[in-house]
Structure 1
Amino acid sequence: MEQAERIAIIDIGKTNSRAILADLVTRQEMDIRAMENRVLPGPPYPHLDTDRIADFILRALADFARVRPALRVLIIGHGATMAVVDDVGLALPVMDYEYAGPDDLAAEYDRQRPDFAETGAPRMPGGLNLGAQLFWLARHHAQELSRARHALFWPQYWTWYLTGHAFSEISYATSHSDLWSLRTGQPAVGAMSRIMSGLFPPIAPAAAIAGTIRPALAAAYGLPDGISVHVGAHDSSLALVPHAGSGRRAPSVAMSTGTWLAGFAIGVEKMPAPGPGIMASLDIFGRLVPNFRIMAGKARADLLDGHSRTDLPARPADELALYQDKTGRFGLHDSDCLPARLATRPDESAADAVDRLLARDALAGLYAIGASGPLHVTGPFAKNPVFMAALRQGWRFPARSSTYAQSIVDQVAALLDGPEDRPVS
Structure 2
Amino acid sequence: MKTGHVAVIDIGKTNAKLALVDLADLSEIAVITRPNTVRPGPPYPHFDTEGHWAFLLEGLQKFHAQQGIEAISITTHGACAALLDRAGTLAAPILDYEHTGPDETAADYDAIRPPFSETGSPRLRLGLNIGAQLFWQFATHPGLAERTHQIVTYPQYWGHRLTGIGATDVTSLGCHTDLWNPHRRCFSSLVDALGIRNQIAPAKKSSDILGPVLPEVAALTGLPPETPVYCGIHDSNASLLPHILANKQPFSVVSTGTWVVAMTVGGKDVTLDPEQDVLINVNALGDPVPSARFMGGREHDLATLGPYPEPDDAALAVILAEQRMILPGFAPETGPFRGQKAQWIGAQPAPGTALRGAEVALYLALVVARCLQNTGHQGSIIVEGPFAANPIFLRMLAVATQSTVVASKGQTGTSQGAAIVACQEAQFATEGDTISPTKERHLAEMRAYAEAWTQFAGDLAL
Corresponding residue for residue 106 of structure 2 = 106
Quick check: 1:321 aligned with 2:328? Answer: yes
Q: Counterparts of 2:268 and 2:115 in 1: how far apart (Å)?
A: 19
Report the 3-state secondary structure (helix = DSSP H, G, I; strand = E; otherwise coil) of the residue aligned with 1:239: helix
Corresponding residue for residue 388 of structure 1 = 394
159 and 342 in structure 1: CA distance in 2 versus 1, 3 angstrom threshold:
farther
9 and 413 in structure 1: CA distance in 2 versus 1, 3 angstrom threshold:
closer
Corresponding residue for residue 340 of structure 1 = 343
173 and 333 in structure 1: CA distance in 2 versus 1, 3 angstrom threshold:
closer
414 and 77 in structure 1: CA distance in 2 versus 1, 3 angstrom threshold:
same
Q: Counterparts of 2:267 and 2:247 in 1: how far apart (Å)?
A: 12
Whether the 8 Å CA contact 1:7–1:21 is kept in 2: the answer is yes
Corresponding residue for residue 376 of structure 1 = 382
Please identify which structure carries the higher helix content.
Answer: 2
Offset of residue 49 of structure 1: 0.3
102 and 411 in structure 1: CA distance in 2 versus 1, 3 angstrom threshold:
same
Structure 1 vs Structure 2 CA RMSD: 2.9
Offset of residue 225 of structure 1: 2.3
CA deviation string 1:145-166 (max 9, x = no partner):
2221211111111001110111
Quick check: 1:8 aligned with 2:4? Answer: no
Corresponding residue for residue 176 of structure 1 = 176
Report the 3-state secondary structure (helix = DSSP H, G, I; strand = E; otherwise coil) of the residue aligned with 1:70: coil
Corresponding residue for residue 362 of structure 1 = 368
Q: Counterparts of 1:228 and 1:386 in 2: how far apart (Å)?
A: 42
Worse-superposed segment, 221-230 or 77-86: 221-230
Whether the 8 Å CA contact 1:135–1:195 is kept in 2: the answer is no
Structure 2: give runs of 5+ residues left out of the alignment: 307-321, 427-462
CA deviation string 1:291-311 (max 9, x = no partner):
0000001111122339xxxxx
90 and 385 in structure 1: CA distance in 2 versus 1, 3 angstrom threshold:
same
Offset of residue 248 of structure 1: 6.0
Whether the 8 Å CA contact 2:204–2:231 is kept in 1: the answer is yes
Offset of residue 378 of structure 1: 0.5
Whether the 8 Å CA contact 1:138–1:195 is kept in 2: the answer is no
Corresponding residue for residue 54 of structure 1 = 53
- Summarize the alignment of residues 46-195 of structure 1 with structure 2, pairs less than 5 Å apart: 46-88=45-87, 89-190=89-190, 193-195=193-195
Report the 3-state secondary structure (helix = DSSP H, G, I; strand = E; otherwise coil) of the residue aligned with 2:177: coil
Corresponding residue for residue 244 of structure 1 = 244
Q: Counterparts of 1:262 and 1:329 in 2: how far apart (Å)?
A: 11
Offset of residue 316 of structure 1: 6.2
Whether the 8 Å CA contact 1:28–1:409 is kept in 2: the answer is no
AA aligned to 1:150 is: Q
Instruction: Say how many residue pairs are matched.
Output: 406
Structure 1: give runs of 5+ residues left out of the alignment: 307-314, 421-425
Offset of residue 178 of structure 1: 1.2
Corresponding residue for residue 309 of structure 2 = none
Corresponding residue for residue 259 of structure 1 = 258
- Summarize the alignment of residues 260-279 of structure 1 with structure 2, pairs less than 5 Å apart: 260-268=259-267, 272-279=272-279
Offset of residue 18 of structure 1: 1.2
Q: Counterparts of 1:416 and 1:249 in 2: how far apart (Å)?
A: 22
Q: Counterparts of 2:343 and 2:247 in 1: how far apart (Å)?
A: 45
333 and 412 in structure 1: CA distance in 2 versus 1, 3 angstrom threshold:
closer
Quick check: 1:407 aligned with 2:410? Answer: no
Q: Counterparts of 2:236 and 2:401 in 1: how far apart (Å)?
A: 21
Quick check: 1:281 aligned with 2:281? Answer: yes
Q: Counterparts of 1:152 and 1:344 in 2: how far apart (Å)?
A: 49
CA deviation string 1:87-139 (max 9, x = no partner):
32100100001101111111221111111111111111100110110110110
Q: Counterparts of 2:372 and 2:47 in 1: how far apart (Å)?
A: 31
TM-score by length of 1: 0.88
Offset of residue 371 of structure 1: 1.1
Report the 3-state secondary structure (helix = DSSP H, G, I; strand = E; otherwise coil) of the residue aligned with 2:195: helix
Q: Counterparts of 1:147 and 1:117 in 2: how far apart (Å)?
A: 33
Q: Counterparts of 1:83 and 1:406 in 2: how far apart (Å)?
A: 25
Offset of residue 224 of structure 1: 3.3
267 and 152 in structure 1: CA distance in 2 versus 1, 3 angstrom threshold:
same
TM-score by length of 2: 0.81
Corresponding residue for residue 311 of structure 2 = none
AA aligned to 1:284 is: A
Q: Counterparts of 1:397 and 1:340 in 2: how far apart (Å)?
A: 28
Worse-superposed segment, 192-201 or 393-402: 192-201
CA deviation string 1:46-105 (max 9, x = no partner):
000000111111111000121112021001101111111113210010000110111111
Worse-superposed segment, 388-397 or 220-229: 220-229
Whether the 8 Å CA contact 1:128–1:176 is kept in 2: the answer is yes
Whether the 8 Å CA contact 1:378–1:407 is kept in 2: the answer is yes
Q: Counterparts of 2:275 and 2:365 in 1: how far apart (Å)?
A: 18
